[in-house]
Structures are given as structure tokens and as C-alpha cells.
Structure 1
Amino acid sequence: MAVEQTTKADVIVIGGGMVGLASAIALRDRGLDVLLCDPGEARARTSYGNAGVVSRGSIFPMSSPALWAKLPTYLRNADRGLRLRHTHVARVLPWTAHFLAAARTSAWERAAAALVPLTSAALPEHLGLAERAGAGHLIRRCGWIKLYRTPEAFTGAALERAILARHGVAVDLLDAEAVREAEPALIRAYAHGMLLPETGAVSDPGALMEAYQQLYADLGGRSLGMVTTGLQPTEDGWQVRHAEGAVQARQVVLAAGAASGEIARGLGYRFAFAAERGYHTHYALHPDSPALTRPVLDTGAGSIVAPMGEGRVRVLSGVELNARAAPPDYVQIEAAAREAAGTLRLGANLDNRPWMGARPSTPDGLPVIGPAPRHRGLIFAFGHGHIGLSTGPITGRLVADLATGREPAIPVAPFAPQRLLGWPRRRPPQPDGAMARP
């Protein structure tokens, strides 16, 4: 009979995506003995599969005031940017109720104000970490563009532009000719564009993650790839069990992305939480096409095209609300690829099948960062949605601050776990200006 082995550390970090990895690096920088635990396949992590945008302007939750006008379209799955699995949405009623409550102008503005310090620190933190990892060449300060097919669509984004201006986020407005000049690779005509120049673009998110993993190893960080979700408190800290034994530590950081809700539930925390699934596929650009120089969001298609190395682009779908482990549904990415073929001169598809990953989604669009309310030594760091790759390094610094008793580098009160625990006890507020029904 094999003897069970117990490993000890100062801190266990559960989750090997950008947030967990950056937290592990920051904790090692503070001199702590860190064990990073993640059983998942690297390619399946959303840090690998996103658009690589690191932007100060990524401050808007999905639950926008425009939701109410678009709700009938969303419910019919007639909007390219959002696809619902209705049975799944019914199963995550706490998330759904909070999500509808957050779809108000006042809530949207509060969320944006809370995210500004986090996104403002994102690019400087990434650049510093990338230089340490010898991967500075993978991040370019090139901005990214949001494109609008009609004047009406551009007018409809006026509130977004006003909030960006209020928080000092630089925006360059482009007319149709300026869009063509900024991105000669575009073959579709757009009425307007919005360039956010305070943005970095990662040309290969997977390679950047590998460089950060090597940096962590070079710092003496340890990793374990066979962890189960068995997390439990002990008399002097925490224990995580795995196939060959257990790991014990004084503190634990839960940064397991979309799996974090399930792990937290085992400790009695029922977060209003859902998984946002997304897809991507890669195409070669046509040999006669100019290069695409920066990521581009086509608001009319609800999808993104992003350059990923020499002559290659990543086409990314909108959001699918579905169970994390449900079989893939390629309807959205196939539609996004068709739209991309009208936006760029594409060559061959480079993938055997589209990639799929699940983002951890909170209803108010804010991450969960902070100490657990009922357990000493447990720090939550998940729920970053679409900005996990972007804000991972600054979140790692905040985690290290909390673990070592320092004042966090930026305010974390808006990200407190308590706000998402339990069911809403009142009817969600009506959209601004709407009359409440009896």
C-alpha cells in the first residue's frame, strides 16, 4: 500500500491561468514559499484563448443599460454577440437576477469607476512582468479599435464615450476615411471607429503565459498538476488533496477561473456566478492583404479579429452563456468567421477545430478579489470575465498585498466577495426611466 505524502508551503495558489500565475509570482517576490496547483490543460485556459487586449478602457460590464432594449433579440438568440442556452440561464438564477439588476446606467457607471484603477495599472504591470520574463516583444503599444457599421450604432455608444472621457481614458474618433487609413487591411466599409491608444496587444497569449511560467519556476516557485477540488480548512491553515497525498499551507488563493464557483461552494460560499463561453479560430491573411496591425472589434458582428503573429489572425466569437462542461456549440464562431471574411481578405483556416474556453462571469462585471468572509487565510481572486489576461498581473500584486498584510496597491472594496453571496431578497430594479410593474 502506497504511503500518502504531504507537501507543505506558505501559500497554495489554485489556478494556473493568468490571475493564478501572476499571484504566484507576486507571492514569490514577497519571499513566500508558493505551490501553484492546476490540473487543467494550458490550452483550455481563457488566458490562452482571448484577443490579447490590455486596455485602460476595458471598464464596461456586459450588463449595460442597452440590455433592456436588446433583451427580446437576446432571448431569441438573434444577436451575434450573445447566445443563450435558456436552460442554463434558468439554473443560475442568482446570477441572472443580479445581472438584470446591474443593467442600469447608475450601476454601469459605478462599475466603470471601480474598474478604472485596475485597468489603468494593467499595461504597466504587464510590461514590467514581460520584461522580467524576457517576453517584452510579445506586447505592443498599438491601441485597439471599436468599429461601427452605421452612424446610428456610433450614436448609440455615446454614453460609453462620455464615461471614458470622464475617467480620462484617451479616445481618438475616426470617420470612415480615418478607419481605412488606420487599418488598410479592412475591406468592409465602416461609418465610424473609436481608437483607444492606451492599449497593448499581446501577439501570442499562449507564449506570454509560457514565459511567465518559466519566470515563476526561475524564482523557485513550485507547481503541482494533479490537484482535485478537495479544499478544506485545518487547525493551522489549509489542505488540498490530490491523487498522491495532500498539500498543506497557512494560506490559500482561489484563482481557478470559471471553476472557482464550484470549489467555493464546497466551503459553503454560493456565489452569483456563471460561465461565459467563447470560441476562436485562426486564419492566414491573403498574401496580397496588408497586415492587420491591432485588434479590432466589429460591433455590428459582435466579434473580434486580432493579429497573432506574422500573417495570422485570430477570429473570436461573442459570448455564449452555457454550462461550462456542455458540448461545444460552434454556431457563433462559424458566424464570426463568415463576418470576418467580409472584413479582411482571409486565406486558409489554420485550425482543425475551433478553440473553446469558459470565462468566470460575475453579474456586475467586477472581479472577486478579497479575503473570504468566514475563513481565515483564504483569498478569492476570480471572476475577471473578459479582462483576466489584462488585469492578471495587477491582481497578483493585490493578492500578495492581502496575503502579507499590506495596504492593497489600489482599492479592493468594490471587489469584495460579500456582494455576490446569497440570493437577492428584492425584485431587481427596473431599467432607468422604466415604470415598475405591480
Structure 2
Amino acid sequence: MTENIKDKLLVVAEDADAAAPDQHPSCPHGPTVLFYRQSQTPIDGFFACSAHRNPKLCDFRINRLDWRGNQIKRRTDVLDYPKASDIDDPDPTSHLEALSQDDVHAQYFFDESALQFFADQCQTLQINKVICMGAPRLHFHLRRDKNIASFLLDFDDRFGSYLSPEEFCLYNMCNNHFFYKRQPFEAFLKCDNNERVLIVTDPPFGCRTELIAHTLRSLRRLHNRINCLPVTPLAVFWVYPYYMANYIRQDMPELQICDYKLNYTNHNRYTNVGASRRCHGSPVRVFTNVPLQLLKLRTSEGYKYCEKCNRFTAVENVHCDRCGNCCAQNGQTYRHCAICDLCVKPNYVHCPSCRRCSQVEGHNCKLYQSKQLCWLCGHRGHVESRCQIWLKLRHKHRLQQQHGCLICGQKHSERKCKMRGRYFKESQFMGLTTISVRKR
């Protein structure tokens, strides 16, 4: 759901199954989601459809203050499973018309190379079961492998005519809602001790990342409960554009980006063929909690093994000894900015006022800085020279103003200053860094 407003629209993600029966109303597409604006609190928000981001397609909306649980009946009915066709179609996605309405389905199908990539990783990771969440072509591809069982969770009810309840359920990934009985899916999740499960999700790129992240955590909890396991992660492949990395990391900081570029057969820009293709290839990547060192990419498709990173990367991704990583993400060869002390896109220009590299020379510094993450305190909305926390620390410890690094004055960024540990305490959990001020 989108609205043309400057005030950012936020969302409260809650597990529909775990929520109280009268907590959220439901529309025909399952439990709704609570939206609210950045200037509001959740109590002032509104409930709206989680699946249809265009209100013309589902106009359900009710203010949070007007919802009283017992006034509007919550939908609890389960749809009847359609009778499967007697025709054994190996891959109906090869002839079914794709539901490419971006406000709802955005149904794009992986090409053969992408399908082989997932199959290769399943073999490498010794995966026995795959949950294809919004990835129908992958499901039909994996059905040919006798060593892998696959279950399709998808919002397209047409697949119910080709697949039995033991391998398909009509499903809304934005609210973890099963339209059919979910017992067959729970039976699929039941594993032996030596079986490994992988979730591959290919949501519409307009989906709220916090909703998808919450659904992935809900499926993990369901898997753990069914198999009587403690808090155990499930392997995840989340297919999304590389430029959405910051949003994904905010919701699931344990996910890393793999350099593999995925192509779709029915999208003219997210592919490496055709007149409309991007000059640096498809921007679609795989975000995963699987260690990147375990993934194998084919050198015949434009990938190489970096001995220093101990992982496969794109051929154009040159290792930076200063950063200690192959930093490029968009298909270009990044360069290291000595002033920023990090790798940036080759067309970026350094701005001394912002203390950052920017793609636009002569940009609005005030606006640009309002979106930056401070290297000192870790908060968003300012750069280091405007950090009020550091100004107070400098005054408290009677530190002099420095012209290079604000902490020590040397020619490096505050992120890598060896003296920052005197004033800031950093802790990391699942890839997320938390910065706090040391009490002295």
C-alpha cells in the first residue's frame, strides 16, 4: 500500500496467528496490517489490506480508534481447495499468463540460469526441502529432482488446479495467512534429524520489507515448534534488488547480499538481454543468512573466487585491501575514497561539507546530511561534524577540535579510528552494530 505523502508511512508487523482474535480486522485477503505515519503513534493509525497496495483493488480501511474487535466480524473461514487437473503439467508457468500487475502480484519468472543457481545451492548445502514462497517456476523446476521436496506458497490460486494440497497452498506472504487448510504444509515442515529446509522468497519489490521479514520469522518459529527445536534459524534466500539492502538489513540484519545477479524471463529491465536491459546487468540479488563462503557461483557465468574474501564474487568486483572486502554491489568496479575511507561507486564525487561521497556534485548538503548515518553515534539525520553527542563528549573531556578525524586528527574516518573505543562502546549482534557512549 502506498500513499503520496512526505510523512513516511510506517507499519506494525504482527503474526496473524499469534495475535489476539480481536486484535486486527480482516479483509477478503486475510488479517489487515496496522499502518501509521511517522508523526503519529500506532494508536492513531489505520488498518488496511496487506496484499493490495492500491486501494482501488481493496478499499478496506478502518481507523485504529474505530476498531472495537466485537463490532466487525473477523474472517476465520478457510477456502475449499480446488480440484486438481488430471493433466500432469511439468511447468504451467511456461504457458500461463503472468499476473504482472505490480500493485498485487508482480509475477515475474526466473530464467533457466537462476533456476540452476538455486538447484546448485541446494546440492551444495545438502537441502532436502524447499519452501518456494512466491517462486512458482522454481517449485516446478525442483519437482524434477527426486532428492528435493518442494512446497509452493503463492497468492495465485491458479496453481491449485495443477498441484495437490501436499505441495501447494494459496497464501498471503504479507501477513502469513493461509487461505486453505495449512495442515499439509505443517506436515511438510516435519523433518527428520538429517533433513535441511530452505526458504526461497521472491516477493513483489513493492512489498514492505518489515512484513516479509516478520513472515520469515513466523515460519521459522512454526518450523521449530513442529520439530520441537529451540531457537534455530532456517536457511533463507530472499530475492530483492541490491538497492533495497538497507531496508532488509534494518529488518533482518543477519542477511548478507550474494553477488549473483538473477534474471527474469518476462521483465525487460531485470535481465541481461534485450534492448531495455540495464548496462550493468540485473539489479536483483539474493539476501541470505547462509554464510557466503558456502555458496558456489559458476565461473562460466561471470563469477570468480576471491581468495582474500574466501567467497565467490562477480568478475568486476575488485578486492579492496583497505576495506578488506569485495565491496561492489551494482555491477560496477568500485573505487576506494581515501577521505571517506570506504569504497564508493566510480562516478561518486566527494563533498567536504557532508564528509561523504555523493553521486550528485553541487547537491543540497542539508537534505543529504539529514539522510546520513553518523559514524560517531550511529544515529541517522546528521554527519559527524554536527553530532551533538560528540560535542558534549569533547566538552566533557576537554578535547580540542580536530581537522582530520574528529577523535584523533589523523587522516582516516572516525569509523576506523583506534581511539574511538575510549569514548564509544560498540556491540554486534547478527550483523547489526549498536553504538553507545562509554561511562567514564
Structure with bigger strand share is 1
Specify the TM-score bucket, using the shorter chain as the normaliser.
under 0.3
Return the TM-score normalized by structure 1.
0.24
Return the TM-score normalized by structure 2.
0.24
Q: Greater relative contact order: 1 or 2 (C-alpha under 8 angstroms, separation 6 or more)?
A: 1
Structure with bigger helix share is 1
